[in-house]
Structure 1
């Protein structure tokens, strides 16, 4: 499937289809959508245009991302020194990440507004959607991947993200391809359906009980892929996973715990020793 681009102004339709697909839910009057890290990673990698990214990692600076007066659903992003040279109005998205709050703003880049008194600029961002990443502060492995996209190290003002292997020198087309959009959404729905079936298969084979703790509370149980197995490679059989409590699932993915061939806990990183060492096989 080739790279697909949406016409400028279609982002709200695209985002709504994503929201319907992932069942992203508003969490307050601002219509902030509550999502998890994997949802955001899926969304970013399927964006039909590249993006310019800014980040806010300082307390008290959150207000610098603000609404544009008298312009509906349009925001001004920061007071930056210099314009993003690689970004073209209408041909890029603009992403603003607030890791301290777990908020990600995604909209269409519409150029810059110069502040005469300071010479600094604000990015103008239209058709903004706001996402609250509910597991950002607790996830481990996926958080590292997301940070590689949204939080470039050092005092970087602007970074850039090119989804779908878009070449940085490639001119950006603004033609809408609804068939490719449908293909993307179909692939997501298929993947979500496979994940649901994977959970059923794993629980049927092993029982709906955490292999390590014996926890049977459905709301906090995951069907966790075993090390070396990957849902992106189609590993959805019952043998590819085990039931694990959600926190242990994340610890396993991050390499902070290890299981033996019988799925028993045999190693706990010192960072988690106080919490999980009691579950190590042979512990009293």
Structure 2
């Protein structure tokens, strides 16, 4: 700012400063003040808090986990002929929890110990949400012992991690070459092809998980939960028709065959033969 601009600006007079100060103090004094609670108010509020449980502010992933274990529990209650699903959780004991884990092992495609243990943790979380208290510590220990000994031996639950090969520099080169030069598929918008290549490079360079680059959250009914709408618990919902996916985290249905033959090793596959000439390909001819 120039010196000329500063000299032309008129500073407020002391009287104007006093008027502005008095106006601000008057507005502040006129604002309604919240009355403080009395001793009787605190006693009434204490009785209300002692009888009412507070709902936690769960993340979206936690809500989806609770929804999934609730659907499994509903199927278990239907199998047992129990109509009151929520009442079954309120009256659940360690024997019922053991039977529920056995039902999961028999009817769901789980083959690892960690997967069943994760279902147990999710069920304990559901028990806490419905009853407003944690499962008894001694009962939880007995259920874990039953899982660690009886169920693990009966269903041959795998405790070791399954070895999976890791991509190298040659693999990412083949993937990018196929994406840019050989891929015949059409993306909804071709800028997604550039996004796919970027995700590949970030994955191979940083070693990050796929969920850190793309949205891998399971949404109920294909819709995201809006913050403007109040969250409805699954046991309070009238209709919950979402399909339950009882699939082991380590044994997906689309598990790739790592022992299979690579397509570029097949010499009869013309897709990976650089010297192959397609007779149906139309070549552009130029006038001489």
Note whether the superposition's TM-score is higher than 0.5: no
Q: Report the structure number with the largest CA radius of gyration.
A: 2
Higher strand proportion: 1
Higher helix proportion: 2
Q: Please give the TM-score of this superposition, normalised by the length of structure 2.
A: 0.23
